[in-house]
Amino acid sequence: MIQKKIKWKIFSVVNFLIIIYCSFFLIPGSDEIQPIIPHIDKIGHFILYGSQAIGLKKTFINMNLKSSGISSLMICFILGLLIEILQPVLTYNRVFDLFDILANITGAISTISILKLIKNIK
């Protein structure tokens, strides 16, 4: 049981570090070269924040926190908002993007909802 608790904590920390790296250090593509799939970064936001929500929820469950789903959603929302606010301040090539925040919270809500649905089916 202790191993599972540690694994979810490690998963959450590693996912958080990936979010920070991608948000501040990964250089975005040039405006002159369009990606094959428009707005593909939104898919990345959806997946990373969905993963973060799962990791946080499982960690909070292991800590016996009653409102693990709401807590993980709030943390994901605040994390995404802070990153979007800090990007133009701390980098020269990033701007605030409301659609990134929407992709973040949509990914988090979707994964928490799917987890809840799966739990109710079992």
b (16+ CB within 10 A) / e for 98-114: eebbebbbebbbebbee
d(CA 66, CA 57): 10
DSSP conformation letters of 11-35: HHHHHHHHHHHHHHTSPPPPSSS--
Q: What is the pLDDT along the chain (122 residues), one digit of tens a residue?
A: 566 667 999 999 999 999 999 998 876 655 666 667 777 889 999 999 999 999 999 999 988 988 999 999 999 999 999 999 999 999 888 889 999 999 999 999 999 999 889 887 86
Q: Provide the whole-model pTM.
A: 0.87
Tokens of 105: 């919270």
